[in-house]
Amino acid sequence: MPVKRIKIIGGLLMILLFALLGRLVQIQLVSTESFTDHHINLIQSSVNQRTQVLSVDSGRGKFFDRNGEPLGHEEVPALVLFPFLKGMPWPSKTVAEAAGISERDLLSAVEKAEKPFTYGGKTPLYLTEAQMDEINSLKIPGVFAISQSVAKKMPAEQLIGTLTKWENRKKQLYPDQKLSPEAQVGNTGLQASFDEFLLSEGESKLVYHVDGMGGPLFGIDVKYVEPANPLYPVRVVTTLDAGLQAAAEQLADKYQIQNGGLILLDIATSEIRALVSRPSIDKKNPNVGSENKMFSQAKIGSVFKTVVAAAAIDYQLIKPGRLFDCNLTINGTPDVKRKLGTLDFEESFAQSCNRTFGDLAIQLAGINPDILDNYARKLHITGQSGWQGQIFHTELKQLFKEESGKVWENGTDKKDKRLAAHTGIGQQDVQVTPLAAANMMATIARGGESMMVKAVNKITFKNGSTVVDFPEQTLESESISPYTAMKLQTMLRRVVTDEKGTGRFLQGMPYEAAGKSGTAQTGKMRDGKELYNKWFAGYFPYKNPKYALVAVNLEVPEESGGINPLFQEMVREAYRLDQNKND
C-alpha cells in the first residue's frame, strides 16, 4: 500500500478517534445534566438504570377541603413488595396472615413482579394501623407497610387546575432553576396560581439498587428517600366543602350540563363551597375542557334586571301606583308569547317583564348614560371578584384567569334608547361571569357589604404550621346601601312567592330561597334552532342567608336545558348536608 494512502487513512482514523474522545468528554463531563436538545440528564438516566424505585409521594403540594379532607389524592396504608423476594426465602405466610390475604395470592403477585409494586394495584389493599405495625415489626427486606399518596379523580377540576411537564412552561416560570424532566408545574387553576408554594422539594421513594441482570447490587438493602426539608410538601387548604362539592358534581351530571355548571358561595365569608364547570377536562388533552366556565363571561339575560332595579330604587323612579304595560314587547309591539298584563314594579320583577326594565333603562340613560355601569360596579358584576393581595411582596390572585364582566362595549352609544332598553334586560353587550353573579347575590343578602371571593383559606407546612393565611377582604368599589339591599331582598323573594313568579318552582323548599332567573339570546344557532343561556341566581335561606348559588346552562335550545331543577336540588342537598352536620 502506498505510503501516501497509509497517511491519509491514519489521519482519518486520528480524526475519528478525536471525534469519539470529544463525544465521550461531552457525555461524561460537559453535558451530563442536559444532553442533546431534549435536555436528557445522563446522570439521572444512569441511576435509573441501576435502581428499582417505588414513588411514595411526588413531593408536590396537596389540596384539601376546608375540613382537612384530601382533594384529588388519598393517603393509602398499603403493602409494598419488591421483586427480589422471589429469589429468596421469606416468611410469606406470616405476612399474608398479618395482612389478611391469601398466601398463594401474595406469592403469585411477587412471582409476576418485575419492579416494586403496591399489592392490589389500582385498588390497593387497605391496611389498618395495627396491621402496618405488625408487618413492619417483622423487618423483612423488600416488605413494607407504608402510607402511600394515590391520585384519584380531582373534584372541582377546573378550579384546582392542571399540571404539565412541558419544558417551555418550566423555563417561563423558573428561568433560573434546573427542574427535573419529570417535575410538574402548574398549568391552570390553583395549581398555577400557587405553583411557587406547591413546587416539589423532592419526592419520597423506596430505592433498591440492582445490577445489569436485575440482581441486588449492594445486598438487599432498600432505602427510604424523602425530601431534605421535612416541612414539605405543603398543604393548600381550600374553601371547598367535600360533601357539597360531591353533591354539586352529581347533580350537574344528572341534569346533563354539558356547557355551564354551578357555583355555591358561603355568604358570611364569600368563600367558594362548591364549583362545577362543564365540559370536563379531557384526560388525553388537558387543554380541552380546562376553561373554568364559572370564571368566564357570558350573556346573562334577565338576572341583570337586579342592577336596573337597584338604580331605579335609588333614583326614585318608582312612584306609588306606577304601572307598566307588560302585554307589549321591549320594542312596543304586542307580545304574542308572554301577555303578562298591567304590572307594578315588583310584579314586573317577579314575572320578569322586559317592557318594564327596558323603559326604566331608557329613563336612567336619560339621567346619566353611565348609571348602569356604576350600579353594575356597585353590585360587583363588572371588574373582578376574586381574592387578590400582597403575599411576600408579590401580588397574588387566587382565581386563575377570572374574566371581568361588562355592560357596554367600547364605543357603544349609551344614549341610544333602543340599545339602552336591550341593555336593561341583560342583552346587547352585557356579559357577566357566574362567579360575579353569585357574589352579587351574596352582597345583597349581606345587606350591601362587599367582599372578595376566596378559594383558598391558608397554606400550611407538612407539620401543620401556617405558611400564609388569606384573610377576608372587602372589594374596593362602592357598594349599594343597606336600604337598597333590603328592597332587593324583598323583590328577589317575591320572584319565588309570586304565583306567576319565574322562581315559583322553589316554593316548598326546605330552605326558603330568593333569586332571579335569566334567559339570554346568544345569537347562535344549532340544527336550525336558536340557542340561549339559561341562568338562575339566588340565595338561601331567605331570613338567615347562608349560601349564594348560581346555576347556568349555556347555549341550549329554548325548550331544553332547563336550569331550574339543578338549582332546586342543590338547595335540597345543601339542607340535607347541613342537617347531617347538626345531628
Average pLDDT in the 486-504 region? 97
C-alpha cell at 576: 340535607
Amino acid at 70: P
pLDDT at position 474: 93
Q: Is 115 helix (H, G, I), strand (E, B) or coil?
A: coil
What percent of the chain is predicted at pLDDT more than 70? 87
If you average pLDDT over residues 351-365, what whole number do you get?
97
Collect all residues with Cβ–Cβ distance below 8 Å to 515 and sequence separation of at least 6. Answer: 441, 492, 495, 496, 503, 506, 536, 537, 538, 539, 549, 567
Q: How far is CA 161 from the centre of its chain?
A: 5
Q: What pLDDT is recorded for position 228?
A: 59
Averaged pLDDT for residues 27-46: 49
Q: What is the pLDDT, as a whole number, of residue 425?
A: 97
Work out the pLDDT band at 36, boundaries 50, 70, 90.
low
Q: Is the pLDDT of residue 171 over 60?
A: yes
Instruction: State mean pLDDT over 346-363.
Output: 97
pLDDT (mean) for 54-59? 72
CA-to-CA dists, residue 576 to 32, 413, 549, 581, angstroms: 60, 49, 16, 9
pLDDT at 391 over 90: no
Mean pLDDT of 310-326: 95
Closest CA relative to residue 120, chosen from 141, 136, 105, 98:
105
Q: Quick check: 308 pLDDT over 60?
A: yes
Q: Does 33 have pLDDT greater than 90?
A: no
Q: Quick one: DSSP state of residue 129?
A: H
- pLDDT tens digits, one per residue of 234-264: 999 999 999 999 999 999 999 999 999 999 9
Q: The cell 387546575 sits on which residue?
A: 161
User: What is the pLDDT, as a whole number, of residue 34?
Assistant: 52
Is residue 267 within 8 Å of 447, Cβ to Cβ?
no
Question: Beta-carbon neighbour count of residue 418 at 10 Å?
Answer: 13
Q: Is 479 annotated in the active site? A: no
> In percent, how much of the chain has pLDDT > 90?
62
pLDDT 10s digits, 434-457: 999 999 999 999 999 999 999 999
Asked whether the predicted pLDDT for residue 403 surpasses 50, the reply is yes
Active-site choice (270, 302, 385, 450): 302
Mean of all residue pLDDT scores within the chain? 88
Angstrom distances, CA of residue 550 to CA of 175, 357, 393, 430, 564: 41, 22, 34, 17, 11
What single-letter DSSP state applies at residue 368?
-
What residues contact residue 190 under an 8 Å CB cut-off, 6+ apart?
63, 159, 160, 161, 236, 238, 398, 400, 455, 456
Summarised one tens digit per residue, pLDDT across range 498-520 is 999 999 999 999 999 999 999 99
The string of pLDDT tens digits covering residues 66-119 is 999 999 888 888 898 888 888 788 999 999 999 999 999 999 988 998 888 888
How confident is the model at residue 35, as a pLDDT?
A: 46
- What confidence score (pLDDT) does residue 472 get? 94
Q: Is the pLDDT of residue 476 over 60?
A: yes
- Position 392 scores a pLDDT of 81
| Contact criterion met (CB below 8 Å) for 189 and 199 | no
Q: Which three cell numbers mark 206? A: 423506596
* pLDDT given at position 46: 43
| pLDDT band at residue 227 under the 50/70/90 scheme | low
Q: Looking at per-residue confidence, does 240 or 152 come out higher? A: 240
pLDDT of res. 471: 94
What's the rounded Cα separation, in Å, for the pair 557 and 522?
A: 10
Q: How far apart are the first and last CA of the chain?
A: 102
pTM for the full model? 0.86
Contact 556, 522 (CB under 8 A): no
Residue ranges of domains in the chain, CATH in brackets: 51-70+155-238 (3.90.1310), 73-152 (3.90.1310.10), 242-287+297-582 (3.40.710.10)
Q: Does residue 218 carry a pLDDT above 50?
A: no
Residue 33 · residue 42 · CB < 8 Å:
yes
Q: Which long-range contacts (CB under 8 A, 24 or more apart) does 497-505 make?
A: 498/347, 498/350, 498/351, 500/340, 500/350, 500/351, 501/350, 501/351, 502/302, 502/350, 502/351, 502/352, 503/536, 503/538, 505/564, 505/565, 505/568
Residue 393: what pLDDT?
A: 76
Position 22 scores a pLDDT of 58
